């Protein structure tokens, strides 16, 4: 899609329509999701006020993806924990922590894919093979530990997670395992 002065600008009108000023076309949330997946950077502005509403539109895209596909990336325990940080002293730290965590996860995901390609080659099975469960579990565990350590740095008197939180984390890992098993079964059937 065309860019306007180096930046793609999407205007959102009162009737909820989204207009790409670079291509002079109306777009949908699904189109914006595809732009994100392609790595295209854009901002969304309220057409009347000119306010930057990119954050709320991206959040809306996540909501649409979660409800449309039925595949949730955000476990309930994570959403609950995130909500507890609103208004908390840690609220300012969470966005940068999540940003760095996602960057690290993306980098590690690329490394894991490279290792899988080396191990299984460029066969159709190797291309479609999902990450082994153990690697994913280890990554989730490392991220959880890193998050807890970061929170303790800012609140040295913080108590360790409650038993319920540990149960929720175990449940999330079990859900990830089940999803990976289902994906592996689909691959095996192919």
| pTM for the predicted model, two decimal places | 0.57
Q: For the chain, where are the E strands, in sequence order?
A: 8-12, 18-20, 25-27, 42-46
Query: Once rounded to an integer, what is the mean pLDDT over residues 96-120?
Result: 80
Report DSSP state, residue 88.
Answer: S
Confidence (pLDDT) at 164 = 61
31 or 163, which is more confident? 31
Tens digits of per-residue pLDDT, 5-46? 568 999 999 988 999 999 999 999 999 999 999 989 999 999
| Rounded Cα distance, 83 and 98, in Å | 14
Element (H, E) at 57: helix 54-69
pLDDT at 108 (0 to 100) = 82
């Amino acid at each position: 899609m065309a860019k306007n002065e180096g930046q793609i600008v999407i205007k959102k009108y009162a009737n909820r329509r989204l207009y790409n000023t670079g291509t002079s076309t109306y777009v949908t949330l699904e189109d914006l999701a595809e732009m994100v997946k392609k790595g295209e950077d854009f901002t969304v502005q309220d057409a009347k006020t000119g306010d930057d509403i990119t954050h709320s539109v991206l959040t809306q895209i996540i909501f649409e993806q979660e409800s449309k596909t039925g595949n949730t990336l955000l476990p309930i325990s994570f959403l609950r924990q995130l909500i507890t940080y609103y208004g908390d002293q840690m609220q300012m730290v969470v966005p940068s922590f999540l940003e760095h965590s996602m960057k690290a996860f993306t980098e590690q995901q690329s490394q894991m894919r490279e290792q899988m390609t080396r191990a299984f080659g460029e066969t159709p099975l190797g291309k479609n093979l999902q990450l082994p469960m153990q690697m994913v579990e280890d990554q989730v565990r490392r991220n959880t530990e890193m998050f807890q350590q970061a929170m303790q740095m800012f609140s040295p008197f913080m108590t360790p997670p409650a038993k319920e939180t540990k149960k929720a984390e175990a449940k999330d890992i079990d859900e990830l395992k089940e999803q990976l098993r289902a994906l592996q079964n689909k691959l095996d059937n192919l």
